[in-house]
Amino acid sequence: MNSARPPPHKRQVAESSLDFLMMQVVTYFLHGPGAAAYVPPVPSAVPDGNALPPPPLLSPADAAAAAAETRRRLEGVGYDVGHRLVERYAVEKERMDSDLEAVKFVCRDFWEGVFKKHVDVLRTNHKGLYVLTDNKFRWLGRVWADEDSEEGGAGAVGADGAEVGGAIGGRGKPEDYVVFPCGLICGALTRLGVRCRVTAEIAGGAQCKFSVQVIGG
């Protein structure tokens, strides 16, 4: 009698589900209850029939500050995820002795684990700057499908809100979807011993260039 048990059923999740989850995370933080300047919707009238006043509008300066704070929150979430997730992929790897080794690990093993591919191009100036290019960044692919008929263009973004993308406007702008991965990359590299700042440039279509500037050395 064979007492061996059949292998347990392996639960699987469609990759598209994770893409849509990412879109909802961005919407929550940049336009929903997670946004620094979020104002909950209120009914147009109270039971006695009197209209309620509209919520106060933020000044341009306050709106810009709120947008920057919201982006910092979203990148912070990405940082925490990257910081923890990289341990899973690096657990059996030998210690990396240089920044370049750590960056190459992120371009290959980490990118493969998260995005099912490698970074397409890695360039460096050998002075602490690394540029990771993904020619078809999956979290931008769905967004650009809705943006093709609208005015586009390249733009740089980061969590500090300093000259990195425009003010947060409509939902689902392409630049919104690179804030989280900036944090993801930064968190992973920091866990590998590389202190850095990460920004992203959308070059057109779904191509994205992540610039990693090493801090100190």
- What pLDDT is stored for residue 10 in this prediction? 63
Rg (CA), the chain: 21
Give the integer Cα–Cα distance in Å for 130 and 135. Answer: 16
- What pLDDT is stored for residue 151 in this prediction? 47
- What pLDDT is stored for residue 153 in this prediction? 44
Q: Which two structure tokens, joined as six digits, stand for 84?
A: 């923890």
* Helix, strand, coil content of the chain in percent (nearest 5): 45, 15, 45
User: Within 10 Å of residue 38's Cβ, how many Cβ atoms?
Assistant: 15
Give the integer Cα–Cα distance in Å for 54 and 42. Answer: 9
- What pLDDT is stored for residue 167 in this prediction? 35
Q: Do strands 207-214 and 121-124 pair parallel, antiparallel, or not at all (unpaired)?
A: unpaired
Give the integer Cα–Cα distance in Å for 199 and 185. Answer: 10
Helices (H) and strands (E) in the chain, counts: 6, 5
- What pLDDT is stored for residue 181 in this prediction? 95
Q: Which two structure tokens, joined as six digits, stand for 125?
A: 């100036």
- What pLDDT is stored for residue 54 in this prediction? 57
What's the burial of 20, exposed, middle or buried (CB within 10 Å: 0-12/13-18/19+)? exposed
Q: Taking a C-beta distance cutoff of 8 angstroms, is the pair 74, 183 a contact?
A: yes
∠ CA 187-189-192 to the nearest 5 degrees?
A: 110
Q: Which two structure tokens, joined as six digits, stand for 81?
A: 């995820």
What's the burial of 27, exposed, middle or buried (CB within 10 Å: 0-12/13-18/19+)? middle
Count Cα atoms within 13 angstroms, Cβ side, for 18: 9
Taking 50 as the pLDDT cut, the residues of the chain under it are 1, 149-170
Task: Write down the pTM of the prediction.
Answer: 0.75
Condensed to tens digits (0 to 9), the pLDDT of residues 7-31 reads 556 666 676 777 778 888 888 887 7
Q: Taking a C-beta distance cutoff of 8 angstroms, is the pair 96, 193 a contact?
A: yes
Domains (range + CATH), the chain: 72-214 (3.30.1380.20)
- What pLDDT is stored for residue 161 in this prediction? 43
